[in-house]
A and B are shown apart, each in its own frame.
Chain A
């Protein structure tokens, strides 16, 4: 099975983010890491590909930088990577991103595309569905478990009540949640081999696309500071107030 995993390099969330003052776009350092969400996708892809003696191709879009994040995924075991790095894609919206990814995926060929449900730096949460639409294949989303083989894929789709079992014919796109599988640590050998694996860097013109970015970040507001909580002093009847509060947030 030929598996394509969509993976994104993001600035390390442990370090402070910086926005450009005029465009409000994230300043992306040379050194970016693999989005933690994508580690689950990569692991899922590796397990499915290994079970079917298939391959895993990473597809990414964004400033390549020193490729640290891509190497992370290659060190886990992915076979190769294609990254689209083009200044004209700066500030890309979800649809433009999906168009670019879909174009690369088409070029590479695929039985199954796996993506995280949403990136940790953008959080639009719609790219996998858009990619499926552009590829003309089913989108199976919010997977907490995935099995694939014999021309079909089956997932557990997370719902508020539990999960639905969703099945589709391949080829298809699946978005996976964190926890779908436990991502492996890269091994020493994996780290050493990652540098030798093929990484292709493409521009938009290589894909024959013209970006049409229609979204602009107009303004950015800092998140409101957390309000102080209520301190309930126990005068013997504090339990009444506590029950009232618990009822208000509907936990009892």
Chain B
């Protein structure tokens, strides 16, 4: 991987930021079920963490994709999964379509303040009756002059209790299926927008997740990102980046979990010698390290393909599938090898297991990844 001295330097800065500005507050945020995202993102923005690859005209940094890889890996190492996910939404899940397809005015009004950390954003695709089956969404935007009138609901929406705007995928025609959808920016202060419930989750407990309802919400048609009717295709492209972010972050999370486990098992004596001297334990951990390394280098291949301008969909699909499964496996084994201590809430392994379980569900489930792959590779008739 062509990492330069600047990439390594950036990695050290991000790692220190996570260790000093994130980790000491994680327990507090977990207890509160909320992170102070406006404050955190404003500070990250000053360091250039937000909008690394975006156009400097809107406050981006004009960096190459490898800096995003590093940012995701290093935030994956945090003491919980929530912050990496929240940051991912802000920089790689809710904003790529706006950056790529949005009008200059939309970018000035929404992208620029988001990259300054003044605005928090969410991506709203999933509905109570449509998740991985994106073509089944029912939230509808009906045109009334220069305005969309939006009705419907969205669920599992990360950052949504704090979000200033939402990248909404809605039906804008009656064509059905994946046709006739559009991406629309909905500011959260408009009448008719409501977070009807804060969802209580197994893990990622510091991340605020909402069930949203839209009742005759009116926004200008000019808030449409890109072309009316192309929302599904634009969102699919946006999902690819989301999945790559998730796969990059999983490597950071697994590497740190295995490092912490190595440290503990090197000291923990059982049957007269450290647990690391027991063949089964050592070899099992070595196998996991090997798998994480394979994922890391597969991720790098994905990143390189993306940087060459190739469509990274297949890479992103396989990486996301592998990452989701591997983090579950790592989380389970590191807890197992910590024994009874690992099962205690006060040990990091408990939160790690709960947080990482989401990897196979969020951003497209494992089964969705398999469906995409089966179709791409002709295993679907």
Contacts and interface: CB of A to CB of B under 8 A. Distances in A.
B9 interface: yes
Most chain A beta carbons < 10 A, residue from B47, B49, B63: B47
A191 B5 CA distance: 9
A189 interface: yes
Given A66-B5, A68-B9, A195-B5, A188 B16 contact: no
B48 interface: yes
A191 B9 contact: yes
B9 A71 contact: yes
A191 B6 contact: yes
B61 A185 contact: no
A138 interface: no
Contacts of B10: 188, 191
Nearest to B51: A188
A215 interface: no
Interface residues of B, number: 16
Interface in A124-152: none
A170 interface: no
B13 interface: yes
Which size class do A's interface residues fall under? 10 to 19
A195 B49 CA distance: 19
Most chain B beta carbons < 10 A, residue from A186, A187, A188: A188
Contacts of A192: 6, 63
Interface of B: 5-6, 8-10, 13, 16-17, 46-49, 52, 61, 63, 67
Interface of A: 66, 68, 71-72, 75, 185-189, 191-192, 194-195
A68 B48 CA distance: 20
A187 B46 contact: yes
Contact of B67 (A71, A188, A194, A195): A188
Given A75-B9, A188-B10, 18 more contacts: A68-B8, A68-B9, A185-B16, A186-B9, A186-B13, A187-B48, A188-B47, A188-B48, A188-B49, A188-B52, A188-B61, A188-B67, A189-B48, A191-B13, A192-B63, A194-B6, A194-B9, A195-B5
A75 B13 CA distance: 11
A96 B5 CA distance: 32
